[in-house]
C-alpha cells in the first residue's frame, strides 16, 4: 500500500503518544510528533515538545505555525477536550473539517477514509478527506507502540493565547475506574429515582460481582455518579459478558455503549421503555421490589 509522504501526531499523554504513533506509522513514510514533556518524545522520527508546565491553549498558535510550514498529509490529534480545540485550529489553518471520534481509518489512494458514529449511535458515517487531513482519535483505536526515544527532539517555547488571562486551576479527583475490563456491569439510569438508591445498587452489584456504570444524565445532570462511569456514544463503550440495566430507558445514545455485551438484562417499571426491545431478559417491575428480592436469593444460594 502506498503511504502518505508525512504524518504528524499531536498528543500530550504518554499512552496517546504510543498509540497514535503506532497508528501513524501505518499511514506515513515519515512521522513527526508534537508533545509535551521531553519524556514523551517517543517513537517518531522527529519530536517537538513543550515544557510540561506549559498551558495547552498557549501552545496552539505555535503548533499551527509549525504544521503549516511542514504541511503533512495527515495529522492525528489525541481525542481529549484540549485535543478537540487543537484539531479545530489545525482544521481552520488547512481549510478542512476534522475527522473526529473515528473508530477506523484507511487510505484510498491519497484520500484518508474514516468511520464514526452519528445520530446518537444509530448509524455509522463513512467520511473521506484529502490531504492535509486532520483526525481526532481516541484511546484504544490503535495498539500502543513500544516506547523508543526519538532520534531528534527539539524543545519549543509557547506563546500566550491572546485575549485570555489564566486565573487559576481547580484540579479534580479523577476516579480511576476500569470499566472496559469488567465482565459484569450494572448500569443505572434516572429511573432509580434518587442518589439514595445507589446503596441498593451497590448491594446488588456486590452480590453478583459487577462494576457500576450509568447513563449520561445520571452523571451530568443528576451528578449521582462521576463522569468516568457514564456509558454511551460519548462516554465509555463496553463489551461485558453481562450488562444489567436498572432504571434505564434504553435510548440509542446509551445502548450503543453496551450493544456488544454478551447478554443484556433490563429492570424497568415502564413497559414502553425502548430497552425492552434491546435486551435478552427483562422484567417490567419496580426495582425497589425486584432488586432486594434478587439480593436475598443471591445471598442464600
Partner 1 sequence: MKIVVCYKNVPEEQQIELRDDRTLDLSAAQWKIGQYDLNAIEFGATLAEQVGDSELIALSAAGAVLNNVKQRKNVLSRGTTRLIGVQDDALDTADCYAVACVLAKAIEKIGDVDVILFGEGSGDIYAQQTGLMTGLLLGWTTLNCIQAIEKTTEGLRLTRSLEDGNEILEVTLPVALSVTSDGNRPRIPQMKDILAAGRKPVEIWSLADLGVEAVSATETISILAPEQTARKCNILEGESSENIDLLFRQLKSMV
Q: Which stretch binds partner 1 (CB under 8 A): 2-10, 15-23, 33-41, 124-132?
A: 124-132
Site residues for partner 1, window 161-180 (CB under 8 A)?
161-172, 174
- Considering only 29, 104, 155, 280, the residue that binds partner 1 (CB under 8 A) is 280
> Is residue 198 within a helix (H) or strand (E), and if so which, with residue range?
helix 198-208
91 binds partner 1 (CB under 8 A): yes
Could you give the CA distance from residue 153 to residue 47 in angstroms, rounded to a whole number?
Answer: 5
Binding string, residues 25-64; x marks residues near partner 1 by CB under 8 A: --------------------------------x-------
What is the distance between the alpha carbons of residues 114 and 104, in angstroms, rounded to a whole number? 6
Minimum distance of partner 1 from residue 45's CB (angstroms): 28
CA distance 123 to 170: 38
251 binds partner 1 (CB under 8 A): yes
Which CA distances in Å does 32 have to 17, 21, 248, 271?
11, 9, 45, 55
Question: How does DSSP assign 180-238, residue by residue?
Answer: GG-SEEEEE-GGG-SGGGHHHHHHHHHHHT-EEEE-HHHHHTS-SS-GGGBBSTTSB--
* Residue 75 β-bridge partners: 8, 134
Among 52, 68, 122, 149, binds partner 1 (CB under 8 A): 122
The half-sphere exposure of 33 on its side-chain side, counting CA atoms within 13 A, is: 38
Q: Kindly indicate which of the ranges 31-39, 65-73, 195-203, 273-281 contains the residues binding partner 1, using the contact rule CB under 8 A.
A: 273-281
Cα gap 268→165, rounded to integer Å? 49
Number of residues that bind partner 1 (CB under 8 A): 86
**Are residues 47 and 120 in contact, defined by beta-carbon separation less than 8 angstroms?**
no
**SS3 at position 37:** coil
Least Å distance between CB 265 and partner 1?
7
When binding is defined by CB under 8 A, the residue of 92, 147, 157, 195 that contacts partner 1 is 92
Return the range that interacts with partner 1 (CB under 8 A); candidates 36-44, 45-53, 192-200, 216-224. 216-224
226 near partner 1 (CB under 8 A): no
Q: Which stretch binds partner 1 (CB under 8 A): 46-54, 139-147, 194-202, 264-272?
A: 264-272
Length in residues, the chain: 301
* Residue recorded with cell 498551558: 55
Tell me how far apart the alpha carbons of residues 180 and 155 are, in angstroms, rounded to a whole number.
36
Binding positions for partner 1, 183-212, rule CB under 8 A = 184, 208-210
Interface pick for partner 1 out of 3, 38, 84, 239 (rule CB under 8 A): 84
Binding region for partner 1 (CB under 8 A) out of 23-31, 138-146, 193-201, 258-266 = 258-266
Amino acid at each position: 500500500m502506498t503511504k502518505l509522504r508525512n504524518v504528524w501526531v499531536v498528543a500530550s499523554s504518554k499512552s496517546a503518544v504510543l498509540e497514535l504513533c503506532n497508528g501513524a506509522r501505518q499511514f506515513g513514510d515519515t512521522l513527526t510528533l508534537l508533545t509535551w514533556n521531553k519524556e514523551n518524545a517517543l517513537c517518531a522520527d522527529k519530536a517537538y515538545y513543550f515544557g510540561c508546565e506549559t498551558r495547552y491553549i498557549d501552545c496552539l498558535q505555535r503548533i499551527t505555525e509549525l504544521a503549516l510550514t511542514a504541511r503533512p498529509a495527515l495529522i492525528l490529534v489525541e481525542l481529549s477536550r484540549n485535543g478537540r480545540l487543537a484539531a479545530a485550529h489545525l482544521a481552520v489553518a488547512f481549510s478542512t473539517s476534522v475527522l473526529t471520534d473515528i473508530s477506523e481509518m484507511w487510505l484510498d489512494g491519497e484520500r484518508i477514509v474514516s468511520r464514526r458514529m452519528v445520530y446518537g449511535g444509530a448509524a455509522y458515517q463513512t467520511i473521506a478527506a484529502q490531504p492535509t487531513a486532520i483526525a481526532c482519535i481516541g484511546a484504544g483505536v490503535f495498539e500502543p507502540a513500544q516506547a523508543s526515544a526519538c532520534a531528534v527532539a527539539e524543545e519549543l517555547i509557547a506563546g500566550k493565547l491572546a485575549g485570555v488571562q489564566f486565573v487559576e486551576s481547580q484540579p479534580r479527583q479523577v476516579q480511576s475506574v476500569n470499566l472496559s475490563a469488567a465482565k459484569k456491569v450494572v448500569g443505572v439510569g434516572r429511573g432509580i429515582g434518587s442518589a439514595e438508591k445507589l446503596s441498593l445498587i451497590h448491594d446488588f452489584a456486590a452480590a453478583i460481582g459487577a462494576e457500576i456504570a450509568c447513563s449520561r444524565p445520571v452523571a451530568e445532570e443528576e451528578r449521582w455518579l462521576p463522569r468516568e462511569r457514564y456509558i454511551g456514544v460519548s462516554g465509555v463503550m463496553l463489551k461485558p459478558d453481562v450488562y444489567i440495566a436498572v432504571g434505564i430507558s434504553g435510548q440509542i445514545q446509551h445502548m450503543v455503549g453496551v450493544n456488544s455485551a454478551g447478554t443484556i438484562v433490563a429492570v424497568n417499571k415502564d413497559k414502553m421503555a425502548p430497552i425492552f426491545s434491546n435486551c435478552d431478559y427483562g422484567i417490567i417491575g419496580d426495582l425497589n421490589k425486584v432488586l432486594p428480592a434478587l439480593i436475598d436469593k443471591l445471598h442464600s444460594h
